[in-house]
Amino acid sequence: MLLAAASSNWERPLPWSVNKPVLQEPTEREFFSFQRSDGATQVTRVANLGDSRFNQLVRDGVPFVVDDCTRGFDEEAVTHLQCKDFAERWPSGNMRAEYTRGQYHIYLKDPNWYTKVETQPGNAEHMADTLAGPYVWHVKDEEPLTTKRAIQKHWRTPYFLEPSLANRVEANESFEFWFSLPGGGTKSHADSYCESTISLQFSGKKRWRIQAFPEVQHFLNATAFGDGEIYGGNTHATWTPETEFVVGPGECFVFPTGYLHESYVDPADNVDTCHTASTFQFNHPRQVNLYRSFLSRFSMSHYGMQEPCLAGQVGHYATLLGEATLGPESLERAAAMTVAEKLVHVVDQDSDLRISLSEMYAFCSHTDRRQKTLNMGGFRYNWFPLLTKKERKQANQEALHVWAEDAVQYHDLDRDGVVTAAELAHGVLQWHVVQHRVRYVEHVVKDDRLNDKDFLQKLIQGESRMLSKYYCETEPCAEREDLVAYGKFLQSSPKRIRKLRKKLMRMMESEEGRGDNEELTIVDRESGHRERLSVAEIKQEL
């Protein structure tokens, strides 16, 4: 099923050369075919979406709209419920209000949320002058299991996810609901999810503007692009959306990790009532071509520094299950080529010195590697224990097929369907350079012996070496000159240096690693009273 031939080459990313420096990336226009149109950029829209095209769009990280997303849904589907229906069926449900002061949490039984607009100040760069924050009901992880299971009886999976057991289960386990009155919407942001996301519109029309995750050339500009951060010149990048489009009832927007987006339920497009939508994730295939092409910028964001996206979803592809590794003293093209050639000889079965899809599958599904692929590949999803013995066997087989094609596409830079030693070497070197760079920066940021001035100096020195050797490879190098110039700008203000160090420190703390010192905002559901407490203090009260 998941080994089908790729879709038409015209909508694929352009080929990439193994001779390129490993930290260089394609432009968005080179990578995303929908940005290469002669006229105005239009989001990709599809219907009657088949397996082959779906899998390729996802692997390439293409944002696209499915016009017939609810095809085949019956009358009992949750998509037919209105806001008031949710309130009447699940009155004790507890949700949060985005951007709305004094309404951080609210019960579904309270009619105000679907009848009264809570308008907040907008932003000049948003498509709307004013913005009413939507309400988000996190059923997937913030409601009792009985509530979740009751709603799941009405959940229907989009037809293009049905062929995959993993996708059916993940969609059924990960949904959350978004409720918006006309005037509601979200500020530009990049989600924290490591996998692809679907926003399915139940009722009303939602207007979207999107932008690929901006280039980040060095750690001095590392950022997560949280809610509204990109507005107003607050980051090195500017909000320059590529296109604007509308998603209507029964349609859904599928978008990859890192794609910035803002939304708006435009009163001009909608009747004056509350409108519903749902957001959920799916697992297969992975966004391997997106991660491979933009690995450098992702490594300098929350995806590489805080979320487990790169370590959990990329490393095992880049190193072919850890069998192609380089030490910090061996980050050279020649060393990578030596490692790659040896591994190609291991995987190659017909002596043509190339790795085909069938050979990659034989490699990862071999009895000596099968469990390693399933474990290291991250296929033991949270819902795996819910499966029957028969379903687990099916899920494992699906995972092996997914991993094999993901791995081939990850390394296949010229898009010819096979992996050469030179392509493998490029990917192996890129991965290890990026990881070495992250570890060096983390060491500098957390070194208590360094004052802020020395911290910045060592950071600039390290980044300059990285750009010189793995990005520029030529003289002069404008990117390195920009780094030095920005470093001088920061050096003129101790406050700026301290702010940068704190930001990097915060971005390098994983959710799991913050421990008892992490502070959380505790909100009383009845009174709305908010209080900042450390995890240690909360534990003492339990």
Domains of the chain by start residue, with CATH: 64-112+120-282 (2.60.120.650), 447-507 (no CATH), 514-542 (no CATH)
Express each pLDDT in 128-146 by its tens digit.
888 887 889 998 888 888 9
pLDDT at 516 over 50: no
**Nearest-angstrom CA–CA distance, 336 and 323:** 12
Task: For residue 535, name the pLDDT band (cuts at 50, 70, 90).
Answer: very low
More confident residue, 469 or 40: 469
The b/e string for 441-473 (b: 16+ C-beta within 10 A; e otherwise) is bbebbeeeebebeebbbbbbebbbebbbebbbe
Average pLDDT over residues 385-406: 96
Express each pLDDT in 282-313 by its tens digit.
999 999 999 999 999 999 999 988 888 998 88
Q: Give the mean pLDDT of the chain.
A: 89
Task: For residue 116, name the pLDDT band (cuts at 50, 70, 90).
Answer: confident
pLDDT at 117 over 90: no
**Nearest-angstrom CA–CA distance, 174 and 400:** 23
Express each pLDDT in 403-456 by its tens digit.
999 999 999 999 999 999 999 999 999 999 999 999 999 999 999 999 999 999
pLDDT at 540 over 50: no
pLDDT at 314 over 50: yes
More confident residue, 464 or 130: 464
What is the predicted pLDDT for the residue at 283? 96
Question: What percent of the chain has a predicted confidence (pLDDT) above 70?
Answer: 91
What is the predicted pLDDT for the residue at 159? 98
Tokens representing 54 are 């779906």
DSSP-based three-state secondary structure for 499 = helix
Task: For residue 525, name the pLDDT band (cuts at 50, 70, 90).
Answer: very low
Task: For residue 124, name the pLDDT band (cuts at 50, 70, 90).
Answer: confident
pLDDT at 247 over 80: yes
User: Which of 59-63, 140-144, 152-156, 311-315 comes out lowest in average pLDDT?
Assistant: 140-144
Task: For residue 102, name the pLDDT band (cuts at 50, 70, 90).
Answer: low
pLDDT at 54 over 70: yes
Task: For residue 395, name the pLDDT band (cuts at 50, 70, 90).
Answer: very high
Question: Going edge to edge, which strands form the sheet with 275-281?
Answer: 44-46, 64-66, 252-255, 197-201, 275-281, 176-180, 135-137, 94-97, 105-107
Q: How far is CA 124 from CA 129, 133, 212, 231, in A?
A: 7, 16, 20, 8
Name 130's bridge partners.
Answer: 121
pLDDT at 46 over 80: yes
Task: For residue 530, name the pLDDT band (cuts at 50, 70, 90).
Answer: very low
CB 497 within 8 A of CB 453: yes
What is the predicted pLDDT for the residue at 227? 86
CB 283 within 8 A of CB 145: no
Task: For residue 381, name the pLDDT band (cuts at 50, 70, 90).
Answer: very high
What is the predicted pLDDT for the residue at 514? 46
Computed from CA positions of residues 393, 395, 399, 405, in that sequence, does the dihedral angle turn out positive or negative? Answer: positive
What is the predicted pLDDT for the residue at 119? 76
Angle at which helices 333-347 and 421-446 cross, to 10° = 130
What is the predicted pLDDT for the residue at 134? 85
pLDDT at 190 over 80: yes
Express each pLDDT in 63-91 by its tens digit.
999 999 999 999 999 999 999 999 999 99
What is the predicted pLDDT for the residue at 98? 73
More confident residue, 400 or 237: 400
> Is 478 exposed, middle or buried, given 0-12, 13-18 or 19+ CB atoms closer than 10 A?
exposed
pLDDT at 340 over 80: yes
